[in-house]
Amino acid sequence: MKKMLIVCSMAFFLAACGSNNSEKNQNATDEATATESSSNSENPPYDPNRGEGKFHDVKLDPHLNEAMAEKGEKIYDLKCASCHKLSDERLVGPGWKGVTERHKPEWIMNFMTNTDAMLDKDPKAQAMLEICMVRMPNQNLTDDDAREILEFMRENDGVKK
Amino acid sequence: MKKTIIPVLSITAAILLLGITGCKPKNAGNAAASDAASRVYVAPGKYDEVYNFVSGGFNGQVSVYGLPSARLLRIIPVFSEDPQSGWGYSENTKPMFNTSHGQVPWDDQHHLELSQTNGETDGRWLFANANNTPRIARIDLKTFRTAEIIEIPNSAGNHSSPFITENTEYVVAGTRFSVPMGNISNPDVSIDTYKKNFKGTVSFLKVDPQTGNMNIAFQLLMPGVDFDLSHAGKGPSHGWFFFSCYNSEQAHTLLEVNASKRDKDFIFAVNWKKAEEYIKQGKGQKVNAKYAHNVYNEETHEASSTMENQVTVLDVTQFPDIVYAIPCPKSPHGCDVDPTGQYIVGSGKLAALIPVFSFDKIQKAIAAKDFDSAYDGIPVLKYNDVLHGEVKKPGLGPLHTEFDNNGNAYTSMFISSEIVKWSLKDLKILDRHATYYSTGHLMVVGGDSRKPFGKYLVAYNKITKDRYLPTGPELNQSAQLFDITGDKMKLLLDFPTVGEPHYAQAIPADVVAKNSLKIFDISKNKNPFVTLGEKNAKVVRTGNRVDVYMTMIRSHLNPDNIEGVKMGDEVYFHLTNLEQDWDIPHGFAIKGANNAELLVMPGETQTLKWNPDRVGVFPFYCTDFCSALHQEMQGYIRVSPKGSTVPISFSMGKNSDATVTPEAPSTK
């Protein structure tokens, strides 16, 4: 029994040390670990500007696609407006004014479609969660839905046709 | 049921208790297999191998367990209201309980049958019977919800039900109580005219192969006996259905004695394909009969109830090649067909043997027209002509038999409280295992299909006594899980159940799990009171009816301030859950509601009616913990006196007057 206790407490000690270390790494030396892991492992490093999800490189036309934006607005009314205003005022989630300037299009679309994974991992998403205190619901958007909402966000941010 | 068996039981229990104290095994710990714990352990986050659907008996529900862990996964309200979800209380679901007797919110749910294709369980639907006010329900296994309920007319106690043919062509309903019908125009007859005026029926309900929707195709007018259980033929015997009965004495009082006089009752073999032909030829008689048919529509999220008024009846005495009577010892209960479709096992609950009938021999005897006599106009086959053999001295009180995939049968013994394993080939007993106490039905996974999955057997015991910590006079009934992979049955686990399980079904988990619905797609929501986005939230007065179109999303209700409701108004709260994420329901409760709360699934709309009974301001809130700000998900409705001039207004965030702004305030 005594032996057990010793083993257990040692294991606990080790585990505690481990988690401290990883936290430090994440908080203090984000960039350093990113470059390190890119040279050492086959997994690509986490790109905080892209987020995590299926969207890698979203090509945007400098002009607005009005038809798309209109569809996006309809989806906004049904699935997003409960929590997001179009001004910069926070309701449940942040207001959408300027969102397309704050985040890359890939990040926005990944967050819309891969919400839970990003809330668990992405530093910017986690920072917002700390302010809003409500996990953004996964609203089951299709890829097209996400793209159309992005177009509506761009319209809201002043992109003209 | 319980009352009649108490004398027998107390003796049995006494013997058992003596036995238990007197010799080993002393308790379940000793009786269980040594590797039992690891056999039933399903690690956290891992899934069970099998879904086990268990009838709820007097609770009118169906419970769903995972095996081998016996985790309770879900309780489905079927013939029972469910105040926690609002099932039966919401405007959407009230019609599911409509019958020709009006609203019947409870029933006695005895037997279950999974839908089959080619005699194998296909995981699409689960059928359930109502024993008291005769009904059959169909549960959709995409949603684990009751999708349809149809009432059975000309029946009184739908016990011999809801068994199906091997491609789910039909689901049957045989009446337990016979009732005055047939050639009489007025059912107001003296009970002692039973033999003259009382008839039984067995009904065949057609099941649409795509939608699953049921309709009563025909009813067979049968002798005035008590139909007990039934099973369809399969493989070579496909096209036939077998119904056990008791009370072939046709007694109408003290059945305990008077319906146990004859040495043999019957299993009726019904050639339903032949009956189908006669119906096609127009030989059936249209009979007036009032019965409700209730269907839940998944797109409108509403049930509708239609009152039907006619059924087609065939009097089997007029068509002598539809039904044949097989003499079967002593009030048979279980009537079970083996996986090959060749053997029909009758479990005479007062018999000291188990007769096994041969389908081939039945066919030969019918072809030779070698009948013993007739029973109420139905040809009776000779017992020895159609008998494959008898299982001798199996135990006392055989009730029900299921099968594994290796040619073995398992019969529950109610009186001697055990499970007996025997071989279909030579009818020799291979093993027996005590149960605690008094098993009613048992179940092998897929055990009444053409391809049993086997592996596990569950005994559903009627008496619990000392198996668990006591909970006062009322105890949950006990189930016991056995491993049947070896020569000897191994007891693995005891677990308490919900209600009174009679019959159960089980199916490998992957067949069902892969089709399980996660959310209702809100873009397909066709409910007439849906609120598609908060922009459309509103309150509308029409005379003294007030309709509240309210949305729910983490973590607010919109509108959450409502004024202008007056005494005498009927308020309808139409709640639309805007979430599209799995397992994020929201609840809705309002103070003083005389019905229940609502649980609204993602993408769904449900309606709760509220009749304010006093002037004041009343809170409402979300009941299902949904987020860190769940407790903030709340609002108020103001009720003013009759004749008050307070206008209808509604808001979220700030108040606005409905007469000025017809639309809800936008959050833009």
3-state secondary structure B508-548: EHHHHHCCCCCCCCHHHCCCCCCCCCHHHCEEEEECCEEEE
- Evaluate whether B350 touches B330 at the Cβ level (below 8 Å): yes
pLDDT band at B369 (very low <50, low <70, confident <90, very high): very high
pLDDT band at B301 (very low <50, low <70, confident <90, very high): very high
* pLDDT at residue B418 tops 70: yes
Which residues in chain B (504-533) have CB-CB distances under 8 A to chain A? 519, 521-523, 532-533
Nearest to B503 by CA among B2, B18, B16, B53: B53
Per-residue model confidence (pLDDT) at position B26: 44
Per-residue model confidence (pLDDT) at position B475: 96
Extract the tokens encoding A43.
């997994």
Suggest the residue from B583, B667, B668 to mutate for an interface test with chain A (most A CBs closer than 10 A). B667
* Segments of B102-143 assigned E as strands: 102-103, 112-117, 120-130, 135-140
pLDDT band at A9 (very low <50, low <70, confident <90, very high): very low
* pLDDT at residue B393 tops 80: yes
Instruction: Report how far residue A110's alpha carbon sits from residue B662's, in angstroms, rounded to the nearest whole number.
Output: 37
- CB of B184 less than 8 A from some CB of A: no
pLDDT band at B425 (very low <50, low <70, confident <90, very high): very high
**Stretch (H or E) spanning A50:** none
* pLDDT at residue B392 tops 90: yes
The owner of tokens 């199906």 is: B164
Residue A95's closest chain B neighbor by CA? Answer: B668
Q: What is the mean pLDDT of chain B?
A: 93
Per-residue model confidence (pLDDT) at position A97: 97
Q: Which residues of B touch A78 (CB under 8 A)?
A: 522-523, 532-533, 578
Per-residue model confidence (pLDDT) at position B560: 96
Per-residue model confidence (pLDDT) at position B653: 83
B501 or B10: which carries more pLDDT confidence? B501
Q: Which residues of A touch B605 (CB under 8 A)?
A: none
Helix (H, G, I), strand (E, B) or coil at B584: coil
Rounded to an integer, the average pLDDT of B100-104 is: 98
Rounded to an integer, the average pLDDT of B130-156 is: 98
Per-residue model confidence (pLDDT) at position A38: 43
The owner of tokens 């006990």 is: B478
Rounded to an integer, the average pLDDT of B471-496 is: 97
Q: Which residues of A touch B534 (CB under 8 A)?
A: 77, 81-82
- Evaluate whether B170 touches B205 at the Cβ level (below 8 Å): yes
Instruction: Report how far residue B160's alpha carbon sits from residue B110's, in angstroms, rounded to the nearest whole number.
Output: 9
Report the percentage of chain A scoring pLDDT > 90: 68
Please state, as a whole number, how many other Cβ atoms lie within 10 Å of the Cβ of residue B102: 8
A37 or A81: which carries more pLDDT confidence? A81
Helix (H, G, I), strand (E, B) or coil at B473: strand
Which residues in chain B (534-573) have CB-CB distances under 8 A to chain A? 534-535, 551, 553-556, 558
Per-residue model confidence (pLDDT) at position A22: 41
**Stretch (H or E) spanning B95:** none
Suggest the residue from B552, B556, B575, B578 to mutate for an interface test with chain A (most A CBs closer than 10 A). B578
Q: Which residues of A touch B626 (CB under 8 A)?
A: none
C-alpha distances in Å from residue B157, one per residue of A134, B173, B177, B226, B270: 52, 9, 6, 9, 20
Give the pLDDT confidence of B233-269 residue by residue, as tens digits: 999 999 999 999 999 999 999 999 999 888 999 999 9
* Segments of B435-516 assigned E as strands: 439-444, 456-461, 478-483, 490-496, 504-508
pLDDT band at B137 (very low <50, low <70, confident <90, very high): very high
Instruction: Report how far residue B408's alpha carbon sits from residue B405's, in angstroms, rounded to the nearest whole number.
Output: 7
Give B580→chain A minimum CA distance, Å.
Answer: 4
Dihedral sign, Cα of residue B315, residue B320, residue B323, residue B326:
positive
- Evaluate whether B192 touches B252 at the Cβ level (below 8 Å): yes
Per-residue model confidence (pLDDT) at position B34: 87
* pLDDT at residue A32 tops 60: no
Q: Do β-strands B418-423 and B429-434 pair in parallel, antiparallel, or remain unpaired?
A: antiparallel
Per-residue model confidence (pLDDT) at position A42: 62
- CB of A86 less than 8 A from some CB of B: yes
Which residues in chain A (132-161) have CB-CB distances under 8 A to chain B? 133-135, 137-141
Residue A82's closest chain B neighbor by CA? Answer: B534
Instruction: Report how far residue B431's alpha carbon sits from residue B466's, in angstroms, rounded to the nearest whole number.
Output: 25
Q: Where are the alpha helices (DSSP H) in B335-479?
A: 359-367, 383-386
Report the percentage of chain B scoring pLDDT > 90: 88
Per-residue model confidence (pLDDT) at position B657: 53
Rounded to an integer, the average pLDDT of B77-81 is: 98
Dihedral sign, Cα of residue B582, residue B583, residue B584, residue B585:
positive
Contact residues for B238 (Cβ-Cβ < 8 A; gap 6+): B119, B165, B166, B232, B341
- CB of B496 less than 8 A from some CB of A: no
Residue A139's closest chain B neighbor by CA? Answer: B580
* pLDDT at residue A20 tops 70: no
Give the pLDDT confidence of B522-567 residue by residue, as tens digits: 999 999 999 999 999 999 999 999 999 999 999 899 999 999 999 9
* pLDDT at residue A35 tops 50: no
Give the pLDDT confidence of B106-136 residue by residue, as tens digits: 999 999 999 999 999 999 999 999 999 999 9
- Contact check, Cβ <8 Å, B554/A87: no
Give A71→chain B minimum CA distance, Å.
Answer: 13
* pLDDT at residue B14 tops 90: no
Rounded to an integer, the average pLDDT of B593-619 is: 98
Give A101→chain B minimum CA distance, Å.
Answer: 20
Per-residue model confidence (pLDDT) at position B77: 98
- Evaluate whether B394 touches B353 at the Cβ level (below 8 Å): yes
Residue A75's closest chain B neighbor by CA? Answer: B533
C-alpha distances in Å from residue B561, one per residue of B368, B538, B611, B638: 81, 11, 18, 8
Per-residue model confidence (pLDDT) at position A128: 94
DSSP string, B148-167: EEEE-SS-EEEEE---B-TT
B355 or A32: which carries more pLDDT confidence? B355
ipTM field:
0.79
* pLDDT at residue B91 tops 90: yes
pLDDT band at B316 (very low <50, low <70, confident <90, very high): very high
